[in-house]
Amino acid sequence: MPTTSRRERAREERRELILRTARELAETDGWDAVTTRRLAEAVDYSQPVLYGHFKNMNAISDAVALQGIAELTDVLREAREAGGLPALAHAYLDYAADHPAVYEAMFVRPTALSFGTPDSPAALKSAFDQFVAAVEPFADGDTETLAEVLWSALHGQAVLNQTTRLRPTHRHARADTLVSRLSGTFSAPTDN
Amino acid sequence: MPTTSRRERAREERRELILRTARELAETDGWDAVTTRRLAEAVDYSQPVLYGHFKNMNAISDAVALQGIAELTDVLREAREAGGLPALAHAYLDYAADHPAVYEAMFVRPTALSFGTPDSPAALKSAFDQFVAAVEPFADGDTETLAEVLWSALHGQAVLNQTTRLRPTHRHARADTLVSRLSGTFSAPTDN
DNA sequence: CTAGATTGTCTAGCGGTGCTAGTATTCGAT
DNA sequence: ATCGAATACTAGCACCGCTAGACAATCTAG
């Protein structure tokens, strides 16, 4: 029945319009600027329409976060396959720097996305798998713990890079230092 | 002039009452629950009184953050002097876990506190100095960069520990792994 | 001890927020 | 052509941060 499909297609397009607009708005003016009224205005619908597609405002940023996790996973996989752990580390930090609002939706803002385990989206697990694969050559036992250490260390750098709490000139050096220390290969960190 | 002092003392007490109440409220119900109305009700004053002591709501959490930074600095100094880098790392993560709302005010919530440099409160600098001193024995050149790496790595663990995004059973192991890798002493991580 | 100025506090209200009930309208199915 | 479902809107609730303006308490000066 293509008639039903027509409606469903329109519905899906509207949903994606909302999502895309929310993401743009957040990336431009920050998540605080993404209000129901402003978002509704931007997509040229009234506010209740948003609630026909998402349970609430939070669900919208959660949906953006899910998109981001899929993107990030791809980015990490490619980087790791091309350049191993160092490339993955820089790719992670670059993604966070290039898409601060999406990154915030993924890992900073309160979210209903379940990470722990059972029903956590497959995307979440496969993102973490990239960290596991990256540190595997350097693990001396508990690979998963080392992967968690790597991820949280990168996350810390990502969020503190955004606020003016670390020297902006040494972003690269921090990433290099982290990688060399975690991997045990103490190459001198490249400067600025 | 003790008359003026009387007033000033009362004023200072009120200010501290507000601060203490805000902190308790945040620690109990989260910062979202700290609204002008609720806070005013809790201290048994009307809302405008809050603005006689603080420029706005944000200034209140900033003041709490400043308290926390002083506390944290003391904690870190004692730990470092007693047990070096490993003790400092665990003390940091323990403080974050024990005072999540204060920690959030310090390093997660948007804040007007200037960290960068010039007029940043002395407390901020002396807190960072603890990290510098802790990694100094293990630095191979750029001590400050290594200190930044340590701090951000700990920060990452602190915030991800709070959300259910890392295995709660391996908190201790993650801290140990980070310390041993950063310091170059690869002692096997203690388990759960 | 009283008059005036200062300080403290309150009530009331502005524009904004997330979200929803109730109503009108459009559209596909019969 | 008609019915019913899906879709959209207007209007409004309770809450938010914040502030103007009125009123009461207190200190200062004569």
C-alpha A25/C-alpha A85 separation (Å) is 33
Residue B115 has pLDDT above 90, yes or no: no
Could you report the per-residue pLDDT of B42-65, keeping only the tens digit for each?
999 999 999 999 999 999 999 999
Which of A108, A119, A145 has the highest number of chain B CBs within 10 A, making it the mutation to test binding with B?
A145
Report whether B160 contacts B166 (CB < 8 A): yes
pLDDT digits (tens, 9 = 90+) for B67-114: 999 999 999 999 999 999 999 999 999 999 999 999 999 999 988 776
Residue B27 confidence (pLDDT) above 90: yes
Protein B112 CA to nucleic acid D10 C1', in Å?
A: 40
Most confident of A2-6, B4-8, B125-129: B125-129
Q: What is the pLDDT of residue B7?
A: 75
The pLDDT value given to residue A115: 65
User: What value does the CA radius of gyration of chain A take, rounded to a whole number of Å?
Assistant: 19
CB < 8 Å to A156, chain B: 151-157, 159
pTM: 0.92
Q: What is the pLDDT of residue A189?
A: 40
Mean pLDDT, residues A117-144 taken together: 86
Tens of pLDDT, residue by residue over A56-103, are: 999 999 999 999 999 999 999 999 999 999 999 999 999 999 999 999
Give the CB-side neighbour count of residue A176, counting CA atoms within 13 A. 13
For residue A155, the one-letter residue type is H
Per-residue pLDDT of B142-177, as tens digits, reads 999 999 999 999 999 999 999 888 999 999 999 999
Q: How far is the CA of B48 from the C1' of C14 (A)?
A: 15
DSSP state of B191: P
Å: A6 CA to C30 C1': 19
Share above pLDDT 90 across residues of chain B, in percent, rounded to a whole number: 78
First-to-last C-alpha distance (Å) of chain B: 60
3-state secondary structure chain A: CHHHHHHHHHHHHHHHHHHHHHHHHHHHHCHHHCCHHHHHHHHCCCHHHHHHHCCCHHHHHHHHHHHHHHHHHHHHHHHHHHHHHHHHHHHHHHHHHHCHHHHHHHHCCCCCCCCCCCCCCHHHHHHHHHHHHHHHHHCCCCHHHHHHHHHHHHHHHHHHHHCCCCCHHHHHHHHHHHHHHHHCCCCCCCCC
Chain B residues within 8 A of A173 when measuring between CB atoms: 142, 145
Go through the domains of chain A in sequence order and give each one's CATH number.
1-54 (1.10.10.60), 64-183 (1.10.357.10)
Give B63 to chain A, closest Cα distance, Å. 18
pLDDT level of residue B5 (50, 70, 90 thresholds): low
Q: What is the mean pLDDT of chain A?
A: 90
Lowest mean pLDDT among B35-39, B116-120, B153-157: B116-120
* Total residues found in chain B within this entry: 192
Question: How far is residue A67's CA from residue A65's CA, in Å, rounded to a whole number?
Answer: 5
- Residues in B whose CB is inside 8 Å of some CB of A read 107-108, 114-116, 140-142, 144-146, 148-149, 151-157, 159-160, 163-167, 170, 173-174, 177-178, 181-182, 184, 186, 188-189
Residue predicted with more confidence, B111 or B121: B111
Distance from the Cα of A101 to chain B's closest Cα (Å) equals 14
